[in-house]
Structures are given as C-alpha cells and as structure tokens.
Structure 1
C-alpha cells in the first residue's frame, strides 16, 4: 500500500471514532448523574385550596404618610342568625293592680285602713231622727269595708260603754265578701234613731267604727245634738252609694 492510501485509511477510521466519542461525552453531560451540568429550575409547588375556602388575602396596602386612615367597615348582623335585643317589656294592664288603684275584686282582699278614711255624721235633711254616716276613701286605691259600720248609742258622760244601745241591723246578707269603696269616693249609711214609739234618756252620743274588723281604738264619737230623740230599737241600714238608698235599707234591719 502506498503512503497516501495509508493516510486516507487512517483518516477514514478516525472520523467515525471521534464522532462516537463526542456523542458519548454529550450523553454524559446531560445525564442525571452529571455533577457539573446545570439543573433546570423546578416550579414552586402550591397546595390546592380546599373547596369553598377563601382565596388568600392580598397584603394590605400601607397608608401613605399624611393620608387619613380608612374607616373600619360596619359589621352587618347575620341574617336569621339571632334576634334583636328586646326592648323594655311592657306590662299588660290587668285591671286590678295596687299601682293603678285596683278594682272591686282588689277591695275584697284589701280592707280599708282607718287612717285612710274620713268619717262624718250629719242630720238627714227633712228627717230629724235620722243620722247620715259618710265614709270617704282618701287613699289612691280601692279598699273593702264590712256591709255596714258598727254603731252604738250612749252617754258621753258614762265612764264606759257597757250600757250603750246597739241598733238593729239587716240580716240574711250574702254576696261579695266586702263592700268595695273606690279611691276618692264616699259611701253612706243611715241610722234611724227613733223608728217606733218610746224613748231612751241620757243618750247624746253616736259612736261609729267604719269596719267591724277594725280595733275599738279606731271608733269615732259624734254628738247627737240638742233635741235628739232615741227610741228603744233604733235601726241601721247598709252602706250604699246614695243617702236615699242607705235610708231605704234601714227598713230591712231586724229581719233575718
């Protein structure tokens, strides 16, 4: 073989070998174990948000110096989540409270107090033998009285009341447990001093206890006046709203 052909043969063998070597080096540089090859940047891993969760809020902007701070948003009440604060409850009218003066039913359980009553005794016009007892309620509430006052007739000079005369009173009574007396109102009872014949001497005083449950110390004393004639069986009527009705009720006194 000539020298030119030998050089050409070696050149032909070298070129494929060099190409093979270059390919091997390229694969080594790009492989996962290459220490010097630059690794591509991995994307940041994000955790997917749970269904219904709010997106992360953007960072709040810092206020500019000198600018007014934004007002805080008003908090809305949750719809249907609760009830409004109740107003001061209004107490319904019951028709019978002590604060409003009560009513007749209130009077049945609240007896009148002697210091809340005024008592007057006068001669009935046109009937000199009859005395009108007027009881007035000064308080602001209803109160209850017995059906008629307790009355006795005696002498203002007597040392005691053992000899006093008690008038006849109506019997067979029933109905409400007391006579209701409205606030600021008066009721009347009439005593007929001499409904029959005869007379009793040395009787010049009429003693009145407005309610039969009151102590004797609450008794009021009234002079009968000159010329009063007291019979052996005087009569006392019931409490009534008018003098005429009170006088008429004396006719039932002494009847069972």
Structure 2
C-alpha cells in the first residue's frame, strides 16, 4: 500500500513539474513579442500610405514645376517684347540722326527726283513728315534766297514717320510740275536735303547736283512714304509753303 501511494505522489509531482515548464515556455514567447518597441512599429507606414504620400509629392512637384516654367517663359517673352527697339513707339521717341541714315537722290523723270532715306542702324528712328529741301545755286555763298517747295498741308504735330531698321523712306520732289519751259528760276543747279528737318542740325544737310539747265518753277514735295508710288501721290497733294 505504501508503494502505491509513493508512485502516485511521484507521478503527480512529475505532472506538476511538466506543467510549470510548459507554462514558462509559453510565457517566454509572449514576453519576446511584447518587448518590441511600440515607437519602432508606429514609425513604419503601410505600403498604401507610402504610395499615397509619394503620389502627392510628385503631383506637387509637377504642378510647381509647370507654374515656374510658365512664369519664366512669360517673363522672357515680356522682356523680349518690351525691350524691342524696332517699333513705331520707339521711333517716335528716338529721332533719326545723321549717323544712322544715308540719303540718296535719283532721277525718276525729267523734272522729278526721288529722295531715299535709309536706316542703316539696328533700331527704328523717327523722321520729320518730309525732308527739309531747298533749291539754289552751288556757286552762291548766300543760300537765304533758295527756293523751297510746296508740301502737303493739314499735318498734325509729331510723331511723324517711323523708319524701321534696314528700311527706306521715299519722298518725291517735282521741280517743275507744270512742265513750263519759260519763266523758270535761273541758275538753279543744286538741291539741299536734310533728312530729318525737325531734329538734325544744318551741318547734316546733304547737297545733290541737278545739272546745268535744270528748269525749276513752283516745285512740289511729298511726305516721307513707304513706296515711291505713295510718295508721288503725296507730292500731288502739296499746296502749302514749307
């Protein structure tokens, strides 16, 4: 009887030890999981959150980049447009100078001469409505009695004629519109031209020979024009002393 109770007691004791060992093993697994820092886990965003954040950042970058690009382009365009010197408005505030233009005179008909004023500069400049012209004798020291042509009347104040870079303005003078062979002014053999009569000094006047025997009577001068045909039509409207 004593042997039976001892075996039962030993068996019970072994079962208790095994139960304690299993409990300790299970308890160790739970403690390892709980030891992970909560802050470390919280700092790692989910894949969905990362993707959303990346997409938002890319959208913001694209939007910002587009805005900056458009702003720079607009600024450059404005600078280019605003800084242009070959415009009418620039010409009206920057008169042509003698060093910026060349003047040439050609014969169109027996009594007609075409005055060509060419802008050789890189920017536009402003001319008077018509060149300052007078006709006289190359041999005379006194030019005060030179003949001045009639010009179109009814003109307003400046701005007058905008001459763009590389362009030519034409003005036509008819020395003898009536074609008269008698009563013409004697000794006239030279034409004096000041391209921009409103702003150039007399020292910039150019002299052009008419040749001996030129017949001058009540000459007419037209406005600076873009073409010779327009210059002729303008000359025909001349009715006012210059």
CA RMSD for the aligned pairs? 3.5
Contact kept? 1:138, 1:183, Cα under 8 Å: yes
The normalised TM-score by structure 1 is 0.62
Contact kept? 2:86, 2:165, Cα under 8 Å: no
Q: Which residue of 2 aligns with 1:14?
A: none
**Are 1:172 and 2:159 an aligned pair?**
no
Residues 186-215 of structure 1: CA deviation (Å, up to 9, x unaligned): 110011101234201111110000112211
Residues 55-113 of structure 1: CA deviation (Å, up to 9, x unaligned): xxxxxxxxxxxxxxxxxxxxxxxx699978x67944224675455x4311221111112
Correspondence 1:1-256 to 2 at 5 A: 89-90=72-73, 91-93=76-78, 97-99=82-84, 101-124=85-108, 127-174=109-156, 177-196=159-178, 197=180, 198-212=183-197, 213-231=199-217, 233-255=218-240
Give the C-alpha shift of residue 255 in structure 1: 4.7
Contact kept? 2:189, 2:213, Cα under 8 Å: no
Q: Equivalents in 1 of 2:79, 2:89: separation in Å?
A: 12
Q: Equivalents in 2 of 1:242, 1:185: separation in Å?
A: 11
Contact kept? 1:235, 1:253, Cα under 8 Å: yes
Contact kept? 1:136, 1:186, Cα under 8 Å: yes
Give the C-alpha shift of residue 160 in structure 1: 3.0
The normalised TM-score by structure 2 is 0.65
Rg comparison, structure with higher value: 1
Contact kept? 1:107, 1:178, Cα under 8 Å: no
| Higher helix residue share | 2
Give the C-alpha shift of residue 223 in structure 1: 0.5
Whose relative contact order is higher, 1 or 2, with alpha carbons under 8 Å and at least 6 apart?
Answer: 2
Classify 1:95/1:154 alpha carbon distance in 2 versus 1 (closer, same or farther; 3 Å): farther
Q: Equivalents in 2 of 1:154, 1:143: separation in Å?
A: 29
Q: Could you list the runs of 5+ residues in structure 1 that have no partner in the other structure?
A: 1-48, 55-78
Q: Equivalents in 2 of 1:131, 1:247: separation in Å?
A: 10
Aligned partner of residue 214 in structure 2, secondary structure: coil
Q: Could you list the runs of 5+ residues in structure 2 that have no partner in the other structure?
A: 1-37, 44-56
Classify 1:81/1:254 alpha carbon distance in 2 versus 1 (closer, same or farther; 3 Å): closer
